[in-house]
Structure 1
């Protein structure tokens, strides 16, 4: 958090300066009040007028400084939020795919929404409030030293007492903050699960069950919020109680000093105002530090181990792939695979009964599964010597899990990257979607738009993969929703490319499509 904040040194410097001006002018107004009251008691109209004008000017300058300070603060919060969300996003991008799928998508959504919001409210904004309160505190102490050393020493004693309070509650607040973050993640998971299954509740005539389940989660999350807020409120109440007691104590000391002619009567009014600023700023600093500590664990979530993204050109220029004596074990069984040699341009049909390990083999080849026994080489190099980006550049992978973005046809195919129109039309032609290339590629598709057929979605997904021009194409039941004619025509075009290496799994295959492959790799259960 500190590192991200101090990347904005110039903004923080300007913020600190305007905060200092605001504190100086507002505390200056309190000091002027001392002289104003003394002038009133002395019935000196000229001095009363002068001090009244000074007091008004101090507040005008304070308000202008406050406006500028807040303007800069909004920019600091904005930049910090962007950095925090970028850190979360970078962490996601640095996961291996096998690590990524350990969490539900809602967990990552919670990072970017709930955790980011908590860090903003209880971290960034509180840090800026600490800066404001610190300058008010410094200016108040400086003013008290000028007024009376006895008042200053008394303020220091109260000050030490207030410092001790947050240390008693910091661990508890941190624990409550962590609980709230976990509760919010769980809430999103549960609610998403129930809403995705609404159709099942509806047609089973169990809407009342759906309502009860959602209400239980609503009550649970709100109860967790209340517990966190109650704890915060308790700590704040203790700090406020000490703060008010300290203010009263200082005013009583000033009354005693004024009664014994150690200070003028005006000091009572000035110290009353200054003590309010002093102890409220101290109270604010202590409260905010406690709250900031509660989000440290959330900020720690943004930490990640940087993975190398440099491409290995020797590997990207694919020549061969070998699997030797590969075995993969689940809890209840192990799969032993026959050796496999794939050369550039091979067209291999992977066959085997259901449960024989075809999809597991594909996940080993893609690097998703790394806990296998045996030797896996690409261009005669072991796969564990390569980084993930290099491996991903080799493979275009498609299975039956199709995802269509709620966006244009073009963005669904290009994944929001810039491709030449000719390239887009070329891949649409390969997958028999010429009608889309002739239509408006900016047409919106997805869940919120006119639904697509299963075959259309598969062909858009295949076009998405083909436009990336990976040297190896892996298809796991990728055309299962297509009719016989489209299936044959697409495979005929794909397999006619001599530079493209294809590995395909198909349970149902016509003799015509089967003849297009150059090799078969057969797995026995």
Structure 2
């Protein structure tokens, strides 16, 4: 329930204010009964007194209603923040085994926040409306209230007839939504390529199927919910108006109750049937979020601490009899501290994949991976590595943030690394506080690679992995950076490169042709 994810004080205050909001309908029904009965007495003094009570009472209930709305929106905010923080912690602390994608983090999560959590808050109010109205009705007329209450339960049986279809159509909609979102993301990512080769019409046609599947799945889900709602309304009109009024009019005609009491219970009966139908309808909606919620719970339980202990000193790493898919088989490698190693292999061998295995992002199909003679923990092994990727990661943040990733780096060390990686001119022109565009759209390929390299050096990790880290630089600048970085890095370097000059290759202590080691 919602109170698991927010302040207990706020939850208690919400329930208290919801009780007062539910009592507003009881107060209104009481006034109806009093006004109807007063019409038969011609007591003008009591009429004006009752009107004064009505005005003051509704003003108080309005103020309490404002408080109810305020605390409800505050609870929703707190819960939504908790959900998002848990999922971010999961993504940052794991390898995303659940395969959470943009569709889940946007569309599905929004449905979870609104349809499930807000639905639970509404159920609390609906239940209180039913209970307060039911007990007030018992005071007015026991028999008539019981009849109203019993007949209002009949729609529950109707709801169960549609429950399975709603659940099935909900799962189909979620699957279609994920497929559609994936296709849209792919379309945006490759838009320039599609336009370049004039295949717009082809991709417009390819998008029609996921769009149609999504909308058809949504239509069926909404139709099943709509059928359920209409069946509930039709059933409730018969069971909560025709039958109870038949009994009520008979009791008035036989002198066992008053017209005012009948109208009061009739008005309160809206809070017998209305809240129950709303509860059942909301429960149907909640069912549509079950799989989304279960995935959130799994992510919440799987998230790990974001602050990991610093790695111990690096001694050696070893890959023995490593196989991964069809890329390589029975691969053996050993790397010792302070070695400077250049890895080479033909295109398609899987050099970048091998880096991902070292980083714990991928697990080999067979074989063992040890670090300091201990089997690696995929969740923490990355703490030994700094990584210069083929495609540099640039955040839409300041240049200093992109270099330091928010860490407190001494100015002297930052200045030294900026000089080592040839970023002095960029920093002088733009300043460390300048904000970069998303994905470094305002930077050249070489500038992005140098930022990536500088960032790796500033992280103070014992092993530096470089994956084509200077491929976008001119040969002279690449040589200069290699001479400075390779020679001055106080640790282990493993680099993948195709176009290094003989002078650059001579800086490495070992050169390994990976394709000669793998069967």
In the superposition, the TM-score normalised over structure 1's length comes to: 0.90
Match of 2:473 in 1: 482
Deviates more, 1:439-448 or 1:10-19: 439-448
Q: Distance in 1 between matches of 2:488 and 2:198?
A: 53
1:3/1:521 Cα in 2 relative to 1: closer, same or farther (>3 Å)?
farther
Q: Distance in 1 between matches of 2:219 and 2:365?
A: 48
Q: Distance in 1 between matches of 2:307 and 2:451?
A: 29
Match of 1:273 in 2: 267
Q: What is the deviation of 1:360? A: 4.1
Q: What is the deviation of 1:67? A: 1.2
Q: Distance in 2 between matches of 1:199 and 1:244?
A: 58
Pair 1:135-2:134 in alignment: no
Question: Paired residue for 1:250, among 228, 244, 251?
Answer: 244
Match of 1:291 in 2: 285
Q: What is the deviation of 1:418? A: 4.4
Q: What is the deviation of 1:420? A: 4.1
Match of 1:76 in 2: 75
Q: Distance in 1 between matches of 2:189 and 2:316?
A: 43
Q: Distance in 2 between matches of 1:413 and 1:240?
A: 62
Show CA shifts across 1:241-271 (max 9, x none): 2332233132332211111111112123212
Pair 1:43-2:42 in alignment: yes
Match of 1:4 in 2: 4
Deviates more, 1:361-370 or 1:123-132: 361-370
Match of 1:502 in 2: 493
1:47/1:237 Cα in 2 relative to 1: closer, same or farther (>3 Å)?
same
Deviates more, 1:213-222 or 1:65-74: 213-222
Q: Distance in 1 between matches of 2:291 and 2:63?
A: 37
Pair 1:426-2:419 in alignment: no
Q: Distance in 2 between matches of 1:169 and 1:506?
A: 61
Deviates more, 1:436-445 or 1:297-306: 436-445
Pair 1:404-2:398 in alignment: no
Aligned Cα root-mean-square deviation (Å)? 2.5
Q: What is the deviation of 1:158? A: 0.9
Residues 33 and 51 of structure 1 are in contact (CA less than 8 Å); yes or no, is this contact kept in structure 2?
no
Q: Distance in 2 between matches of 1:347 and 1:109?
A: 39
Deviates more, 1:279-288 or 1:157-166: 157-166
SS in 1 for 2:9: helix
Match of 2:101 in 1: 108
Matches within 5 A, 1:57-76: 57-76=56-75
Match of 2:325 in 1: 330
Residues 17 and 64 of structure 2 are in contact (CA less than 8 Å); yes or no, is this contact kept in structure 1?
yes
SS in 2 for 1:407: coil
Q: Distance in 1 between matches of 2:73 and 2:362?
A: 45
Match of 2:313 in 1: 317
Residues 316 and 371 of structure 2 are in contact (CA less than 8 Å); yes or no, is this contact kept in structure 1?
yes
Q: Distance in 2 between matches of 1:498 and 1:78?
A: 47
Residues 26 and 62 of structure 1 are in contact (CA less than 8 Å); yes or no, is this contact kept in structure 2?
no
1:353/1:221 Cα in 2 relative to 1: closer, same or farther (>3 Å)?
closer
Residues 34 and 266 of structure 1 are in contact (CA less than 8 Å); yes or no, is this contact kept in structure 2?
yes
Residues 344 and 496 of structure 2 are in contact (CA less than 8 Å); yes or no, is this contact kept in structure 1?
yes
Residues 4 and 83 of structure 1 are in contact (CA less than 8 Å); yes or no, is this contact kept in structure 2?
no
1:519/1:57 Cα in 2 relative to 1: closer, same or farther (>3 Å)?
same
Q: Distance in 1 between matches of 2:79 and 2:279?
A: 21
1:326/1:253 Cα in 2 relative to 1: closer, same or farther (>3 Å)?
same
Q: What is the deviation of 1:232? A: 1.5
Residues 425 and 437 of structure 1 are in contact (CA less than 8 Å); yes or no, is this contact kept in structure 2?
no
Match of 2:363 in 1: 370
Match of 1:32 in 2: 31
Q: Distance in 1 between matches of 2:78 and 2:87?
A: 14
Match of 2:276 in 1: 282
Q: Distance in 1 between matches of 2:271 and 2:368?
A: 71
Question: Paired residue for 1:234, among 196, 207, 227?
Answer: 227
Q: Distance in 2 between matches of 1:200 and 1:368?
A: 29
Pair 1:178-2:171 in alignment: yes
Q: What is the deviation of 1:440? A: 1.6
Q: What is the deviation of 1:211? A: 4.0
Q: Distance in 2 between matches of 1:494 and 1:31?
A: 84
Q: Distance in 2 between matches of 1:407 and 1:498?
A: 27
Q: Distance in 1 between matches of 2:324 and 2:123?
A: 55
1:83/1:498 Cα in 2 relative to 1: closer, same or farther (>3 Å)?
closer
Pair 1:461-2:457 in alignment: no
Residues 119 and 299 of structure 1 are in contact (CA less than 8 Å); yes or no, is this contact kept in structure 2?
yes
SS in 2 for 1:490: helix
1:426/1:364 Cα in 2 relative to 1: closer, same or farther (>3 Å)?
same
Show CA shifts across 1:156-215 (max 9, x none): 321331332333333322222222222222221111222333223323334344444445
Q: Distance in 2 between matches of 1:80 and 1:2?
A: 7
Pair 1:154-2:130 in alignment: no
Q: What is the deviation of 1:280? A: 0.8
Q: What is the deviation of 1:484? A: 1.3
Q: Distance in 1 between matches of 2:417 and 2:194?
A: 41
Q: Distance in 2 between matches of 1:430 and 1:154?
A: 85
Match of 2:341 in 1: 348
